[in-house]
Structure 1
Amino acid sequence: MKTTVSAFLLSLFFSFVHAAKVDTLAIPSAAMGKSIKTVIIQPEGGSAKELPTLYLLHGYSGNYSNWVNNVPAVKTLADQMQMVIVCPDGGFGSWYWDSPNDKNFQYETFVAKELVSYVNKNYPVANDRNKRGITGLSMGGHGALYLAIRHQDIFGAAGSTAGGVDIRPFPNNWDMSKRLGEYAEHADLWNTHTVMEMTHLIKPKSLTLFIDCGTEDFFYDVNCKLHEKLDYMNIPHRFLSMPGAHNWDYWKKSILYQLTFFNDFFNSSKAA
């Protein structure tokens, strides 16, 4: 599906005044022996409810504060949609894997287990996979799909905006070889850590998926190929392409579509 963004709707969306509560915490990770900075956005008036939770991941060279600083409107969306939004730090080039080469990069365990457990214990959220989703941009888009596919008991929906959904065409980029070893020497390991080769692990009627990418993005081709593969394998999903490059101008637009998708999922009869 190709579409354009209404300038009027976007201006209306970004004009709302937010009243969400924003916590910046250092959450301990036993797996890595250190604390991980995390932003948690809680909607106004949500303290007495079992709210849905969206885990929102940053990209390569980013950090936990990127989304709330670059797109402050996510606070408005948290209020409007009555969801808790969790933005963890993913380290510099972790790709949200548990690296076999570095005990300081165990971000799969942190996000999918330690962080989810912390949020469940300390915030008024529903402990229900159908009220829990995960998405992100670029490295975080790949990370969100990777974590959701590997933890279908934890996440009911997953998204990706401009995600690096196939890492293999970029063997010399973004610290991936530091996490997995050189592609030429560890091709099998790279295959098991790229979303493109994990589609067979998606259980029928398990994950609700939404993938988007800008048509001028250097990840556009791999996103189109993932869309085609999911279609070929009869795996239901939504795919959106619209004009845009790999930058915050695009992500400021795409996040509205992403969060609307998750809000619809959380409020659907399937997720009830």
Structure 2
Amino acid sequence: MALINCDFYSEALGLSTSMTVILPQQSYSQIGMESKVFDRKHPTLYLLHGLSDDHTIWLRRTSIERYVAALGIAVVMPAVHRSFYADMKSGYNYWTFVSEELPTIARSFFPLSDLKEDNFVAGLSMGGYGAFKVALSHPDRYQAAASLSGSMDIASVADRFPDDFARAFGTREEAVGSRNDLFQLASDLSASSKQAPQLYQCCGTEDFLYDANLNFRDHAQQLGLPLTYEEEPGNHDWGYWDTKIQRVLEWLPLRQE
């Protein structure tokens, strides 16, 4: 595998930013590492970080590079700070950055596939919210999305992180029912003629976001969205996420040809 720390200028943000990228590399002799490369542009997982983290955190807290080696997929991990993947009310246009600019600029730097069936998005906590927001907003671009302990209900974010919520979304009235609300996005997608991406959602039963996850699960199931939901004992911590990202990678509907 190739590991690239990429610093670049973002037009959407109006500043320089960073992403960490893992690229497949065919190797027949590297000890302890099974690897795979497809004979086409790389399938890609956009892997999103949580509220207090950055683009390096998945590498620092898990063995994500080792986990994806045998799958032949690239992983793109952007930095978005405490933005909640929003075009912030008081801040920067991180939604435009992640949903529009990031895939385009990453594909200009690296041989990444632009086909829907080769593109996936996942994240934890704030990043789980971001992953579903991206996939539900752009079902024509992503085959699947996964949320690990996601901040699924922005109304609960307003109560727990009021300052971050205000900077990202403004008031509760502005946010709930808007394009920043996963419940609204799910309802809108269900009512449209678009094919929904495959969705995977998990949360530990001791997690402070457990109830919000149950609420979104019930909403998605009532709408008939293609959701796989799993829960087990676990908290809002990296021991849980390290285990569950491996489950996500097993679940991804990767093309094998």
* 1:234 matches 2:224: yes
The aligned residue for residue 207 of structure 1 is 197
Provide, for residues 148-191 of structure 1, a one-character-per-residue CA deviation record: whole Å limited to 9, x for no partner. 111223222111000010010231433111112232xxx14333
Report the Cα offset of residue 112 of structure 1.
1.6
CA distance in 2: counterparts of 1:190 and 1:133, whole angstroms? 26
The aligned residue for residue 267 of structure 1 is 255
Provide, for residues 94-127 of structure 1, a one-character-per-residue CA deviation record: whole Å limited to 9, x for no partner. 011112333xx21111112111012222222211
The aligned residue for residue 34 of structure 2 is none
CA distance in 2: counterparts of 1:108 and 1:129, whole angstroms? 19
**Counterpart residue type for residue 31 of structure 1:** A
**SS of the residue aligned with 1:169?**
helix
* 1:95 matches 2:81: no
The aligned residue for residue 51 of structure 2 is 60
**Counterpart residue type for residue 178 of structure 1:** R
The aligned residue for residue 43 of structure 1 is 24
**Counterpart residue type for residue 197 of structure 1:** Q
Provide, for residues 67-120 of structure 1, a one-character-per-residue CA deviation record: whole Å limited to 9, x for no partner. 01111x2111221110000110111x2011112333xx2111111211101222
CA distance in 2: counterparts of 1:201 and 1:42, whole angstroms? 35
Q: Aligned match of 2:169 in 163, 176, 180?
A: 180
The aligned residue for residue 161 of structure 1 is 148
**Counterpart residue type for residue 266 of structure 1:** L
Answer yes or no: is the 8 Å Cα contact 2:196–2:226 preserved in 1.
no
* 1:191 matches 2:191: no
**Counterpart residue type for residue 177 of structure 2:** N
The aligned residue for residue 32 of structure 2 is none
The aligned residue for residue 9 of structure 1 is none
Answer yes or no: is the 8 Å Cα contact 2:196–2:225 preserved in 1.
no
CA distance in 2: counterparts of 1:97 and 1:108, whole angstroms? 4
Answer yes or no: is the 8 Å Cα contact 2:151–2:212 preserved in 1.
yes
Provide, for residues 168-227 of structure 1, a one-character-per-residue CA deviation record: whole Å limited to 9, x for no partner. 0231433111112232xxx14333112122211225533111111111101111111111
Report the Cα offset of residue 47 of structure 1.
8.6
Answer yes or no: is the 8 Å Cα contact 2:89–2:170 preserved in 1.
no
Give the length in aligned residue pairs. Answer: 241
- Long gaps (5+) in structure 2: 27-36
**SS of the residue aligned with 1:171?**
helix
CA distance in 1: counterparts of 2:38 and 2:46, whole angstroms? 18
**Counterpart residue type for residue 234 of structure 1:** G
Report the Cα offset of residue 248 of structure 1.
0.6
**SS of the residue aligned with 1:121?**
helix
CA distance in 1: counterparts of 2:226 and 2:170, whole angstroms? 33
Kindly report the root-mean-square deviation, in angstroms, between the aligned alpha carbons of the 2 structures.
1.7
Q: Which stretch has the larger CA shift, 59-68 or 20-29?
A: 20-29
**SS of the residue aligned with 1:191?**
coil
Answer yes or no: is the 8 Å Cα contact 2:20–2:76 preserved in 1.
yes
